[in-house]
Amino acid sequence: MENVYIFDHPLIQHKVSLLRDKNTSAKEFRELVAEISTMMGYEVTRDIPLKEVEIETPIGMARTKVIAGKKLAIIPILRAGLGMVEGLLNLIPMARVGHIGLYRDHETLEPVEYYCKLPEDVVERDAVILDPMLATGGSACDAVKCIKERGVKNIKFVCLIASRTGIDRLHREHPDVGVYCAAVDESLNENGYIVPGLGDAGDRLFGTK
């Protein structure tokens, strides 16, 4: 699949297995989501531009490279995307954080938007959308549309578990958006939950059920 990055690193696979386990506590779940997000962040930031600088070491002069100052916006989809923010900010502390509030209508499974606050200069930034679950793809497509409407050109979508249906829909509607995920599951159940998935990511993160 073009423009889809599936993380097969053993540490990430191990941690995703722990996330799936229904006996994992909310505390452990939060820690695992943050850890996996940091590890995924290395690949997500791989194309950040560098510039050459000259630095004096104790031995002599070195021509070397530093980040060229590319601006990023990290945009979690509320609620569950919040669990991934800290992991990414650990790597890129200068990134700005926007928030998009969406919930899925239980009947239609379509997203309902209730909040959107993005950095003022978001149009000058590359955007990284965070949400642990890409299920029907409705929430992801809505978030991407909302960010594109603000003029943002370069958008990546980072999730932990994706369904094939979700990836296909996101690709169909927004082929330019790179999808980064730690696992791809085959099916959705009649309530739009990923099978086997990990359950309701928001509830597991925040202990609401």
Q: Which residues of 91-136 form beta strands (DSSP E)?
A: 96-97, 99-104, 111-117, 126-130, 133-134
Contact region with ligand PRP (CB under 6 A), list: 43-51, 149-157, 175-183, 199-207: 199-207
SS3 call for 37:
helix
Residues 50-109 binding ligand PRP (CB under 6 A) are: 77-80, 102-104, 109
Shortest Å, Cβ 188 to ligand PRP: 8
d(CA 139, CA 102): 7
Shortest Å, Cβ 159 to ligand PRP: 8
**Which of the choices ligand PRP, ligand URA, none does residue 138 contact, using the CB cut-off of 5 to 8 A by kind?**
ligand PRP
What is the distance of C-alpha 176 from the center of its chain? 16
d(CA 204, CA 191): 17
Shortest Å, Cβ 187 to ligand URA: 11
Shortest Å, Cβ 142 to ligand PRP: 8
Which residue, among 132, 138, 195, 190, has the nearest Cα to 163 in the 3D structure? Answer: 195
Given the residues 79, 150, 164, 200, select the one marked as catalytic. 200
Known catalytic residue: 136?
Answer: no
Asked if residue 109 lies in contact with residue 102, where contact means CB atoms within 8 angstroms, the answer is: no
Known catalytic residue: 131?
Answer: no
Shortest Å, Cβ 71 to ligand URA: 30
Q: Are strands 111-117 and 99-104 parallel, antiparallel or unpaired?
A: antiparallel
**Which of the choices ligand PRP, ligand URA, none does residue 70 contact, using the CB cut-off of 5 to 8 A by kind?**
none
Known catalytic residue: 200?
Answer: yes
Rule CB under 6 A: say whether 139 interacts with ligand PRP: yes
d(CA 18, CA 79): 21
The residue among 70 and 99 lying less far from ligand URA, judged by its C-beta, is: 99
Within 8 A by CB and 6+ apart from 125, the residues are: 71, 72, 73, 96, 119, 152
Instruction: Give the tokens for residue 108.
Output: 């239609």
By CB under 6 A, name the binding residues for ligand URA.
80, 133, 135, 192-194, 197, 200-202
**Which of the choices ligand PRP, ligand URA, none does residue 111 contact, using the CB cut-off of 5 to 8 A by kind?**
ligand PRP
Rule CB under 6 A: say whether 201 interacts with ligand PRP: yes
* Interface contacts to ligand PRP, rule CB under 6 A: 77-80, 102-104, 109, 111, 131-140, 166, 192, 200-202
